[in-house]
Amino acid sequence: MTKSIQQLTERQLSLICDYTAKNASIARPRHSQVRAASVLMREGGTIPFIARYRKERTDGLDEVQLRVIEGALKKVEALEMRRSAILKRLQERVTDGDSIPHTVFDAISDADSLALLEELYAPYKSKRLTKADRAREAGLTPLMTSLLNGGRWRDQADKLICEAFPTLSALEEGVIELLAEKLSIMPKARARCLDILGIYLLVNAKRKRGVEAEEIYADYYKFSGKVRDLKPHQILALRRGEGSGVLSLKFNANDERLREWLLRALCPSSHHIERHPHKHYLERARDLAYEQRLLPSVSRSLWAEALKMAEERSAIVFANNLKSLLLSPPLLKQRVLGIDPGLRTGCKLVVIDERGGVLEVGLCFTHDRRSTRAAHEIALLIDRHKVDAVALGNGTGSREAERALIEALSLCRHKAQYAVVDEAGASIYSASELAGQELPTLDVSERGAVSIARRLQDPLAELIKVDPQSVGVGMYQHDLNEAMLREQVAGVVQDAVSSVGADLNTASPQLLAHIAGLGPSLAKRIVEYRDSNGPFSQRKSLLKVRGLGAKTYEQCAGFLRVYGGDEPLDETAIHPEGYPFARALLKELGLRRPHESLGEQIKGESALMDRLIEQFNVGSVTLRDRVHSLTRPGRDPRESLPPPLLRTTAVSLNELQTGMVLQGSVRNVVDFGAFIDLGVKRDGLIHVSTMRDPQQPYKQISPYDVVRVGQVVQVCVTHIDKERGRISLALTE
């Protein structure tokens, strides 16, 4: 965090709270919470650390709230930096002899958004000679003043005829240019346009002439809507359509009241503008200023702001979906068969053990004369290795592979089930340098099967190896600002990995790199230290790793686990700073190590708890977290989630019927609904219009409040469009 926001003023705090209030996913934080969070961030605190171990100071802010506040802090920082740069530039122009009204400096100093700041500065960005400048140099300013005051300005005009303005008509146009400039640079006029057009500005889209129609843009060939009411996916689709040369966009507004206001602003001294003797000239100047300067400039500004907000929203959607996917329930400690389907080259089969190690590699064919052997070959692997679950990739040839797999499950002696796994990004990983290092004896296609199997076994550990943009759980993520998307993704991956924790003695460098406080360099050094010195016996041994100091240890220690080491508390989510309290509590209860029975034991020990709370100055929230951690040593928090959806049979699209009730897994959540994997190759859509809160059945709610990626849901088929391959669904629960 830079110096510009190290000491927040009350005004900046209010701005941050206003920014966060626009985010519907969190409640508006209080000034005290924002101030506490900013201080902790300034001290080097990571979001996961602050969320878990500094709840008392922030009054319980979670990772989502803290990330929104962090984003708002950065917006305020950007606003203040831009304000300083603009004021410095304007002051330089004044020093150079330019005349800039003090009202402009005042308005820029008071601006509370980047959009307003840029609008106020827009007239002064360029020093290009304008028509108004030439009129001013020709001495036409007195004529403008006379016209505004209702005087006989033409009586003075003859004396000002010159080479630049050789006729009365030319002088008239020069005066109108001066009036238009006067209006267009008024801070209050620009601010008013930004406010009013922010409400009423319309964007109109149509297909360009001579351009071949594309179905993806069919909804926008004759489209009109208020910019403020557009959904993020609509804004991004319009931008993509315009950028691809298919759509043309135009902006306008129902602005008669705004035009009347601007006319009065141009001549505030006139109490009866309707009776002004030169109203016609004032209207011409007003229209010139509005149509050629204010409306285009403000429209560009508002559209740019809408695009930025749409990008931010889409990045948040992608990041939240990614986090849900990363935290999908795993099939820990189970053997998995991974199948990477293929037609010409066959299906690659790989069995992995409970820790993800490769046991056997195989191959079967499902589309030619060799397909009669496919089911037997799959069943043989399942029985030989006592496979618990099969992960089937959803790529080309998956339908044929699924038929063979279902037959295999009926043939094998060992009971197993299967799940269709989204293999998006698996091919990218399998061809990467990392995959080559991890699986040097396997070819690229076999590595893909390993990745598919591991995605079912432990989604978090496997998916962090893949470029997040390739995972396929977002909305227009490939159109977004890469730096912004990368920042959002890095944050949620860090939150996800830190919330689960990592085994310090088995975690890969890729997993450790996402632990709060660490990064790729330190993660690599930790693994190198582990390889050279053997397993870590306790958390505090991390301090022996080169470059890992006390502050980094403070941030990362609580998220790393050491199982079977010298310190039993290292198996829990309790931070080392909480060990004295935890040890005292265990000693008082006669326990040597954390145990699930501890929760029951302390129920009748209120006096003991009060004494320990006072002795160690522990707040109620921290107390609850520490006791909870002591009752769940070594437990993966994902174990409490419903297990992934496993099947033994499949339904084809042709077998689906309206009214059929099925179970499915949420594949993706977007603003307009949720896509559900039913195991029929095509995902079904639950449209947002069908989602309701049981407590408020007539109130439409956000899809993100109803379902999350990876969740198993029960749905009813409401409509099937077989020609277009579309399935409409509704939740039944």
Q: pLDDT by residue (tens digit) across 164-178? A: 889 989 999 999 999
Tokens representing 143 are 């004529």
Helices (H), 443-570: 444-457, 459-463, 482-500, 509-512, 520-533, 550-556
**Mean pLDDT across 86-109:** 91
Parallel, antiparallel or unpaired: strands 358-364 and 347-352? antiparallel
Give 381's contacts (C-beta < 8 A, 6+ positions apart): 337, 349, 351, 360, 362, 387
Q: Which helix (H) or strand (E) holds 717?
A: strand 712-721
Distances in whole angstroms, Cα of residue 306 to Cα of each of 218, 301, 310? 22, 9, 6
**Stretch 225-249: mean pLDDT:** 92
Weakest-pLDDT range from 112-121, 283-292, 476-485, 683-692: 476-485
DSSP classification of residue 14 = H
Query: What three-state secondary structure class fits 159?
Result: helix
Residue 380: strand, helix, or coil? helix
- Identity of the amino acid at 299: S
Say if strands 389-393 and 417-421 run parallel, antiparallel, or are unpaired: parallel
User: pTM, whole model, 2 decimals?
Assistant: 0.81
What are the strands, taking DSSP E only, across 258-406?
336-340, 347-352, 358-364, 389-393
Question: What gap in Å lies between CA 63 and CA 1, rounded to an integer?
Answer: 18
Question: CA-to-CA distance for 138 and 635, rounded, in angstroms?
Answer: 82
pLDDT of residue 283: 95
Cα–Cα distance measured from residue 484 to residue 491, given in angstroms and rounded to the nearest whole number: 11
Q: Is the pLDDT of residue 7 over 50?
A: yes
Helices 256-266 and 168-184: crossing angle in degrees, nearest 10, is 110
Question: How far is it, in rounded angstroms, from Cα 580 to Cα 586?
Answer: 10
Whether 473 shows a pLDDT value over 80: the answer reads no
Domain boundaries, given as residue ranges, for the chain = 3-100, 130-318, 336-457, 520-640, 653-731
Q: For residue 250, count CB atoms less than 10 angstroms from its CB and return exposed for 0-12, middle for 13-18, buried for 19 or more.
A: exposed
Q: Tokens for 569?
A: 């508390």
Banded pLDDT at 382 (limits 50, 70, 90): very high
User: What's the confidence (pLDDT) of residue 386?
Assistant: 96
What's the whole-number mean pLDDT along residues 75-96?
Answer: 92
Q: What is the mean pLDDT of the chain?
A: 89
Lookup result for tokens 């330190």:
522
**Per-residue pLDDT tens digits for 52-75:** 999 999 999 999 889 989 988 888
pLDDT class of 1 with cuts at 50, 70, 90: very low
Alpha carbons within 13 angstroms on the beta-carbon side of residue 555 total 22
Q: Which residue did the predictor score with more confidence, 541 or 21?
A: 541
Q: How many CB atoms lie within 10 A of CB 654?
A: 9
CATH number of 336-457: 3.30.420.140
Give pLDDT tens digits for 599-645: 778 877 788 888 888 888 888 888 888 988 888 887 888 887 788 88
**Nearest C-alpha neighbor of 337 from the set 403, 411, 425, 409:** 409
Q: Which residues contact 556 (CB under 8 A, 6 or more apart)?
A: 515, 516, 517, 518, 542
CA distances from 426 to 430, 439, 444, 668, 697 (A): 6, 14, 10, 18, 41
Q: Which CATH superfamily is domain 3-100 in?
A: RuvA domain 2-like (1.10.10.650)
280-304: burial string, b at 16+ Cβ within 10 Å, e else: ebbbbbbebbbeebbbebbbebbbe
> How many CB atoms are closer than 10 A to CB 440?
8
What tokens appear for 304 in the block? 């740019």
Quick one: DSSP state of residue 644? P
What does R_g of the chain's alpha carbons equal in angstroms?
33
Rounded Cα distance, 685 and 677, in Å: 9
Closest Cα to residue 71, out of 10, 21, 11?
A: 21
- Here the tokens at position 308 are 């930025």
Contact 111, 84 (CB under 8 A): no
Helix (H, G, I), strand (E, B) or coil at 686: strand
* Residue, of 467 and 193, whose pLDDT is higher: 193
Q: Which of 299, 308, 293, 309 is nearest to 202 (CA)?
A: 299
pLDDT digits (tens, 9 = 90+) for 263-282: 999 988 767 788 888 999 99
* Per-residue H/E/C for 210-259: CCCCCHHHHHHCEEEEEHHHCCHHHHHHHHHHHHCCCEEEEEECCCHHHH
Q: Where residue 573 falls among pLDDT bands split at 50, 70, 90?
A: very high
Q: Which residue in this structure is represented by tokens 């300005």?
A: 153
pLDDT at 24: 61
Average pLDDT over residues 110-125: 90
Overall average pLDDT of the 314-343 stretch: 89
Q: Is the pLDDT of residue 4 over 50?
A: no
Instruction: Say which CATH architecture domain 520-640 belongs to.
Output: Orthogonal Bundle (1.10)
Which residue, 678, 643, 644, 680, is CA-closest to 661?
678
pLDDT digits (tens, 9 = 90+) for 290-307: 999 999 999 999 999 999
Residue 42: predicted pLDDT: 87
Mean pLDDT of 658-685: 87
The yes-or-no verdict on residue 3 having pLDDT over 60 is no
> How high is the pLDDT of residue 425?
83
pLDDT at residue 25 tops 70: no
Percent of the chain whose pLDDT exceeds 90: 51
Residue 450: is its pLDDT beyond 90? Answer: yes
Q: Which residues contact 167 (CB under 8 A, 6 or more apart)?
A: 161
In whole angstroms, give the CA distance from residue 365 to residue 690: 42
**In the chain, % of residues over pLDDT 70:** 97
| Class at the top of the CATH hierarchy for domain 130-318 | mainly alpha
Residue 18: what pLDDT?
Answer: 82
Give kind and range of the element (H or E) at residue 305: helix 295-326
Contact 509, 523 (CB under 8 A): yes
Closest CA to 452 of 474, 417, 415, 420: 420
Q: What is the pLDDT of residue 475?
A: 60
For the domain 653-731, what is the CATH code?
2.40.50.140
Give strand pairing partners of 222.
206
Structure tokens at 251: 């902006």
Cα–Cα distance measured from residue 179 to residue 463, given in angstroms and rounded to the nearest whole number:
62
